Structure 1
Amino acid sequence: MADKEATVYIVDLGESMADCHNGRDESDLDFGMRYVWDKISTTVAASRKTWTVGVVGLNTEDTDNAQDTEGLGGYEHISVLQNLGPMTMTSLRELRSSVQASNNYGGDAISAIVVALKMIEVFTKKLKYKRRIILMTNGETPIEEDSAEDVAAKLNDLGIELVVIGVDFDDSDYGFKEEDKSRVKAANEKILRKMVESCTDGVFGTMQQAVEELAIPRIKPVRPFKAYDGPLTLGDPSKYESALSIHVERYFKTKRATAPSASTVVINTDHGGASQTQTLDEDTAMDGAEFSGVKHMRTYRVQDDEAPGGKRDVDIEDLAKGYQYGRTVVPFSESDMNVTKLATTKSFTILGFIPFNNYNPSINMGETGIIVAQKLNEEAELGLSALIHALHELESYAVARYVQKDGTQPQLLLLKPNPAIEDDFECLYDVPLPFAEDVRSYQFPPLDKVLTVTGNVIKEHRLLPSDDLKEAMSDFVDAMDLSGYDVDEDGKPVEYAPIDETYNPIIHRMNQAIRARAVDPDAPIGPPAEILLRFSHPPEKLLDKAKSEIDALIDAAEVKKVPPKAQGRQGRKEAVKPLSGLDIDALLGESKRTTISTENAVPEFKQILATAEDDATIESAAKQMGEIVRKLIHDSFADLFYARAAENLRVMREELISLEVPGLYNKFLTGLKKSTLSGELDGDRREMWFKHIVGGRLGLISQDESEVSEVTTDEAKAVSPHILP
């Protein structure tokens, strides 16, 4: 059963809460509400009906509470802004409009605690609830101390936790003390602190610490989930009396956390109820009238000349999956699909054992589970304990075949023993293992030697690190060691990045952004919390300390800055100039090339474009390359020159894209298609078009590839439909 919580927030809305103090550019109310909104939005995000929230306003203009209605004095200027109940986005938006600083300061904080206490008592009755009252105030309103002890005793009787968080309250543990504090505020702090100390379960703190701790991600508590309850066998108990069978239970030890998923919504034009567009059913309708969920519908059509429009709708039940086999499609019915599925039954069977030293931890796959004996089953506890100790003494792991329930795919699990020696808890830890099809073996050249084509081994080569580079790298690694970089309060070295302080920035940043947008849809989302970015870069002090080793490594590795790549501009490329500034062609007495030969077309084409000074030269080069492509296709015996022509065409396409003149290529390719399909190039050349041009993705240059292209994506598909997805 889910935990039940009843939390009432008391928010001070007095006149003094609208002022700014201690150098802040936001009011005390806005500063304190950062904590309250974060807590409430977290409750909304959890979407649990058993987590209830109520809000009480202190120092409000009006008075609206049950105690004042009954004629009891001392409850003026206290209003219930929201009764205890589940918190939704709609109620969050309505509550936000109610939280505004007033022009009043006549409310009593202890009376507000009594109002919240009565709300919890009436709502929870004597049921099992986690009860909590959170008071947020700056303590500038006088407080009557007479009933403080009686209220604290009542809180203890009902098991209600009292949390008092004051704006600029003194906190010696946190190290904050406000200077020039007013006498009223100083007296109120003493009263509230004494009251919290009288409570069995109470917390007193300053808002500065509470706001800072908001940046620390809150880990979602997860209840144990039983994935398997049945026998763990070794052998077949139905056939052999010597087979082992132990009744065990398997739970998840670790579970992968994911970022919250998004839903497609549409703005609700009818704020009085359902959207005018098609929405979800009533049981899946979204909270609030601002947005409505969207229901996706899909229709299937086939070609039918007799149907109106040439297409006919078909039901999904009439469809069958088809798999491509070459250029044909092989239909695969549901009955055929069942043949490929493995019929399995629920089981957990040990297949064999492997020594500790023979197992490579890098092949671990998936999440870890924990296996314990069935509760209140002494025979199972004794049997599992014997198995665990036997594996531990023999220094071996067990490999088991695991089927969670009938019909599910089997898994291979590695079972690691955990005897009750160190942590007084006996269990088996399991982790999924890969099947043979999951393992990919790649061969790479050795890192410590170079093998020549003739089989010779070279120990010294430009691709191999020298002794100086190895030594410099070793010193660099030692200097950047993080294992003892951080220190604790006693000055002793500790782990720099402990696992419980390393958070997934994607998940928690997403949650922070969602909470901020839920509270205020118009306000900009603030920067990510520093704690999420803490380990995204090395410590500055460590980099300064290792500067000499870093410089030595740069020198030994001969690291040089790569000059920026020359960017093309409209119509021509910037000529690549040598670093010396000398004109090599002029020194060698060579003139700039203007013609392209069939035998050396690619390098000569690139050379002309690299030295082109006007658009006419580029057009001439493209025309010459196009004539060479046409000639290769025309002179080709069967498909002898097709690959060569396609390579020339590919280079021509890439170069003209970089020069931002795709029109030259598109014009040429349009004519080439007509020539190849009509037989103008000495016979049937359709294979060149479909296999090498269309299949080689050498179609028209669309606007997706070049912004200056005049060819749209649809036009490019029309010319070569298989090129674009």
Structure 2
Amino acid sequence: MASKEATIYILDVGATMRTKREGQNVSRLEETKGVLLKLLANKVHMNRKTVYVSVVLVGSDITKNQLATVDEDGNADYQNVDVLQELGVATLELMKGVQDDVNVGEAMGDCLDGLIVSLDMMTKFCKKLKYEKKIYILTDASSQINQDGTDTILASVREDNVEINVIGTDFDSEDGEPKPKTETQAANEAFYKEMAQGARGDVFSLDEAKQLTEEFYTKKVKPTAVYRGTLDLGDPEDHPDASLSIPVHMYPSTMVAKIPTAKKYSVLSENAAVEDLVGDGRTGIVNLSRTYKLKVTADMASGDSEAEEVTEVPEEALEKAYMYGKTIIPIRAVDLDAFKLRTAKSMTILGFFSASTFRREWLLSNIYSVFPAPGDGRAEVDLLGFVFALHEKNSYALVRYVRAEDAEPKLGILWPEITEEHKCFYFGQVAFSEDVRRYLFASLTEIHTASGKKLEKHRLLATEESIAACKEFIGSLDLMKADDGEEYLKPKTTFNPATQRQKQALEYRALNPTKDLPPIPDSLIAQLMPRQDLLAETQLYADKLIQLWDIKKIDQPQKNKRGYGASLGEDGEKEGVAQTSSGAEASTTASLIDGLTGNPSSKRHKSESVFGTASTASVAGGVGRASAFGGSGQTGLGRGDMAASGMIQFEMNAVREIRTSDPVKDFQDMVRIATIQSQQGVRPAGAGFITVSMAVEQMQAMITKLFSTSFGDQLYEKAIECLKSLRQFLADADMADMVHGGTGFEGKGKTATNMPEKTRETIQSRVETWNTFIKEVKATALNTATSPPRADFWELINKSRKELGLLTIKDVPAGCGGASEDEAEKLWAETSDTDMPLHVEDAEAPEEDDLLALMD
């Protein structure tokens, strides 16, 4: 393919183009303009700066060309020839000018004059450079042609290697009947055919041209090598005498045609004039600028400022970071470069295998062609010898391919291709063994029971008749002879419907901004829909398969539920049955008591749980025994109360332990389960029994383990979230009241006198637990005897002092304990408190599965 193209379209707009063809509703000019617009649209879609077009009007009322002259005697040459656009890039403005501004002239022009003007224009523009030159003449051949000097013109055309094609509105088609025409049209048609044949061109009727322009086409691309290097067999560096290194170039043979992406367009920029721009100074270009800002919240800022500040951060101060579980780990650019796999540009043969073992589905993406380096005779001899050797041995080569320095290595296959046009290797990428996923399915020929006994009869066992029916069904879908004995939907003639439709819609909308888009062409729909004759033929085999395999349609498929909810079916919508919750639980107090509180006046309120559903109306009874945290004992619920509550047997796989992957969620789940157990009166026995005290103690141990074993500050953020969740729960008086049979109450007006005694004791115990624990966290973090010290962790807590400070008398109901303001402020004093007695027990060594959870 030539690197540059120059195409000139000569359009006849003479007076005879005003008439209509038989059976048509528009004039000959409008039909011809439609073909010309299609040809121009193809050039616009190419979007190449080296593709030049020009439009010349013959028979126009305007004369505008460089050869037009009038002598003293009044003799005029090259009149009624209007160069609508000199050779230049095809643009939408040119197409709009052809569509809206080209009208029928009153005079009759000579298309041969237009041809001479076009040849002169092309010679001056292209000079002696290498161009692919074409001229199209679109005419009704009704005007007289001055044939003087035709031989000289054709000689010049052949010398300049120009191709001339003629499209005639009333020309005869190859397969059609002769069309009625005048003597002038018949003589001109014969003249144009002779001229086109001498200029390596062709002649088309208007119907043929319309059909050709409406067909789909592939995008022409200039072949560009994606790899220029050597094909190595052996090690040319260490063993040059015992290896082979062939200079090769690799070109893409097949590429995915992607739909062009939309561009950012600014209406404000289009409407605003810019003085230094060419033309009217209007542009729709969007100039992007990017800034990076850091929001410094009150808990991050030093001091007591509560206002949020936004600071702009320079781009060079940014670093890449990756998720490690739920923690963000920053990685510096220098570290990324140090860990990067260093590779050298190469294509190395790893081995050979028989072509009979190759499977087409191994290939992953595009196919490339490997040729010897241009101009290297030795490389051509070596590569061709290699190609013929693999062809004779019926073998393929397995190669390691690196496109450029430090690029990721790829695994590929080379196989020989020998045709009359070229002899080369084809290259296709294959997957590494780690990237191959193998799936095992149940056998259709052998079915065994749980005890291992092989069944001889079963409705899912394949028989000879059913296998034969499957083969017949697959054979009926064969497209090799579906199109009157020919292959249907050949890959070379089947185009991407989405890409072609996008081109058509874009072209139509550009020329017709206000009109509705045209319907989808039948040729596109045919590629998407099965053929009716094939459906009718295949249905017989499909019915046979349905009968042999006893295939039945499920009228009412199960709803899209998962886990426990999927097993409930329709009963899941009834009262007293557990409902699964979609979405993650929010880390708030509301999520901990979600489903446990409700309107006392309502009939029932279902409380969500992995165990089942408790109804607050039926479990409002008191709790017999409770720990300081509200742990439950046996209630006085009878059999009838238990049945009315809708309580379901506890599952043994419930959350009973807080792990490092998501400790906040595990803690909330344990608290929720313990609360429901307390309300439903579960006995404190068995593996499924959970208490609130167990959850609090495990959460304290987890917090200590996170910040004391953290590598640097990687786990500090997770420890802070755990502290916030623990304090929020221990400070909540509603939860303590609900554990003892209450329904929760508002914080305002809560005093020790208007609440049950057990509730007051529970609240007071929780407040003391938090205040003691946060002091122990400070002592552990600031203890210089530990290795390493965790003073930086305490600084993070200090920044969130409002959320992680001591629970004071203002934070809890009156009479329920709490630290004084002075004691709470003393916690943040700049002292190490290393003399504070430590009560935190050493965390147990993490189990193996808990360590693996860190990698989630």
Name the TM-score, length of structure 2 as normaliser.
0.61
> 1:110 matched to which residue of 2?
112
Partner of 2:605: 623
Match of 2:80 in 1: 77
Any idea what the Cα deviations from partners look like across 1:562-606, whole Å, max 9, x if unmatched? 658899xxxxxxxxxxxxxxxxxxxxxxxx999844xx5569xxx
Q: 1:319 to 1:91 in 2, by over 3 A?
A: same
Tell me the residue number matched to 1:501: 493
Q: 2:127 aligns with which of 125, 135, 139?
A: 125
Contact 1:633–1:645 (8 Å) recurs in 2: no
Over the aligned positions, Cα root-mean-square deviation in angstroms equals 4.3
Task: Check whether the contact 1:215–1:531 (CA below 8 A) recurs between aligned residues.
Answer: no
C-alpha distance in 1, partners of 2:61/2:420? 59
> Which residue is 1:512 aligned to?
504
Amino acid aligned to 1:293: V
> Which residue pairs with 1:586 in the alignment?
none
The whole-number CA distance in structure 1 between the counterparts of 2:280 and 2:508 is: 18
After superposing the two structures, state which structure 1 stretch, 441-450 or 311-320, moved more: 441-450
Shift of 1:209: 0.9
- Count of matched residue pairs: 603
Alignment of 1:42-81 (within 5 A): 42-71=42-71, 73=76, 75-81=78-84
Q: Is contact 1:234-1:350 (8 Å) kept?
A: yes
Equivalent in the alignment of 1:175: 176
**Pairing 1:195-234 to 2, within 5 Å after superposition:** 195-197=195-197, 199-234=198-233
Instruction: Say which SS state the counterpart of residue 266 (structure 2) adopts.
Output: strand
Distance in 2, Cα, partners of 1:184 & 1:564: 75
Q: Distance in 1 between matches of 2:210 and 2:122?
A: 26
1:663-712: CA deviations, max 9, x gaps? xxxxxxxxx9x9998555429999xxxxxxxxxxxxxxxxxxxxxxxxxx
C-alpha contact (below 8 Å) 1:476/1:546 kept by paired residues: yes
> 340-349 or 372-381: which moved more?
372-381
Q: Residue 347 of structure 2 aligns with which residue?
A: 348
Match of residue 401 from structure 2: 402
For 2:317 and 2:575, locate their aligned partners in 1 and report how far apart those are by CA, in whole Å: 59
Asked if the contact 2:572/2:578 (under 8 Å) is kept, the reply is: no
Deviations 1:9-35 (A, max 9, x none): 122233443444332333322222222
Distance in 2, Cα, partners of 1:531 & 1:59: 37
- Quick one: which amino acid aligns to residue 430 of structure 1? F
AA in 2 matched with 1:297: R
Distance of aligned partners of 1:644 and 1:301 in 2 relative to their CA distance in 1, 3 Å threshold: closer
Determine the C-alpha separation between the residues in 2 that align with 1:27 and 1:468. 64
Give the distance between the partners of 2:27 and 2:333, measured in 1 at CA.
65
Counterpart contact for 1:268–1:274, Cα < 8 Å: no
Displacement, 1:155? Answer: 3.3
Equivalent AA in structure 1 for residue 487 of structure 2: E
Distance 1:29 1:455, change over 3 A: farther
Distance 1:323 1:507, change over 3 A: same
Q: How does 1:231-630 map to 2 (within 5 A)?
A: 231-240=230-239, 242-257=241-256, 258-267=258-267, 273-274=273-274, 289=282, 291-295=284-288, 297-305=290-298, 309-375=308-374, 377=376, 379-385=378-384, 387-418=386-417, 423=420, 426-465=423-462, 468-487=465-484, 493-546=485-538, 548-556=540-548, 596-597=575-576, 600=577, 623-624=605-606, 628-629=613-614
Out of 739, 749, 752, the residue aligned to residue 682 of structure 1 is: 739
In the aligned structure 1, how far is the partner of 2:223 from the partner of 2:573?
Answer: 77
The structure 2 residue matched to 1:164, chosen from 166, 185, 189, is 166
Deviation at 1:397, TM superposition (A): 2.9
Distance 1:158 1:387 in 2: 41
1:290 CA drift (Å): 5.9
CA distance in structure 1 between the partners assigned to 2:735 and 2:380 by the alignment:
82
Specify whether residues 351 and 102 from structure 1 end up closer, same or farther in structure 2 by C-alpha distance, changes over 3 A only. Answer: closer
- Report which stretch shifted further, 390-399 or 316-325: 390-399
Q: What per-residue deviation string (whole Å, max 9, x for no partner) do you get for residues 622-646 of structure 1? A: 7356793566999997956959989
Contact 1:89 1:288 in 2 (8 A): no
Instruction: Note the residue ranges of structure 1 that are not aligned, 5 or more in a row.
Output: 276-280, 488-492, 568-591, 604-618, 650-671, 687-725
Shift of 1:270: 5.2
Helix, strand or coil: the match of 2:33? helix
With over 3 angstroms needed to count, the CA separation of the structure-2 counterparts of 1:241 and 1:88, relative to structure 1, is closer
Distance in 1, matches of 2:185 and 2:619, equals: 93
**Does residue 1:97 correspond to 2:96, yes or no?**
no
Shift of 1:289: 4.1
2:500 counterpart SS class: helix
Deviation at 1:240, TM superposition (A): 3.3
Q: How much has 1:204 moved relative to structure 2?
A: 1.3
CA positional deviation for 1:383: 4.3
Instruction: Compute the displacement of 1:312 (Å).
Output: 1.6
- The CA distance in 2 between the partners of 1:380 and 1:593, in whole Å, is 74
The structure-2 alpha-carbon separation of the partners of 1:429 and 1:201, relative to structure 1 and needing over 3 Å to count, comes to: closer
List per-residue Cα deviations over 1:225-283 (Å, max 9, x = no partner): 333344433333333355303222031242323222221112255568549xxxxx98x
Structure 2 counterpart SS, 1:189: helix
SS at match of 2:509: helix
Measured in 2, the distance between the counterparts of 1:410 and 1:183 equals 70
Assess, with a 3 A threshold, how the Cα gap between structure 1 residues 144 and 561 changes in structure 2: closer, same or farther: farther
Counterpart-to-counterpart distance in 1, 2:342 and 2:578? 61
Aligned positions of 1:183-202 closer than 5 A: 183-197=183-197, 199-202=198-201
SS at structure 2 position matched to 1:155: helix
Whichever residue aligns with residue 328 of structure 1, its letter is T
Deviates more, 1:307-316 or 1:32-41: 307-316
Offset from partner CA, 1:44-101 (integer Å, 9 cap, x none): 23233332211112222332233334545353332221122222334444454322x2
Larger mean Cα displacement after TM superposition, 148-157 or 62-71: 148-157
1:32 aligns with 2:89: no
What amino acid maps onto 1:348 in structure 2? M
Give a deviation string over 1:154-184, Cα, whole Å, max 9, x none: 434443322211223222x1425334x4555
More moved, 209-218 vs 362-371: 362-371
Contact 1:138 1:167 (8 Å CA) reproduced: yes
Q: Distance in 1 between matches of 2:78 and 2:547?
A: 77
Q: Which protein is bigger by CA-based radius of gyration?
A: 2
One-letter amino acid of the counterpart of residue 613, structure 2:
I
Shift of 1:309: 4.5
- How far, CA to CA, are the matches of 1:542 and 1:344 in structure 2? 52
The alpha-carbon deviation at position 317 of structure 1 amounts to 1.5
Contact 1:401/1:411 (<8 A) preserved: yes
**TM superposition shift of 1:553:** 4.2
- Asked if structure 2 preserves the Cα contact closer than 8 Å seen for 1:267 and 1:292, the reply is no
Aligned counterparts of 2:457 and 2:672: Cα–Cα separation in 1: 42
Match of 2:90 in 1: 87
Identity of aligned residues (%): 27
The alpha-carbon deviation at position 531 of structure 1 amounts to 3.8
| Equivalence for 2:3 | 3
Q: 1:544 to 1:255 in 2, by over 3 A?
A: closer
Contact 1:412 1:432 in 2 (8 A): yes
Instruction: Measure the CA separation in 1 of the matches of 2:736 and 2:62.
Output: 92
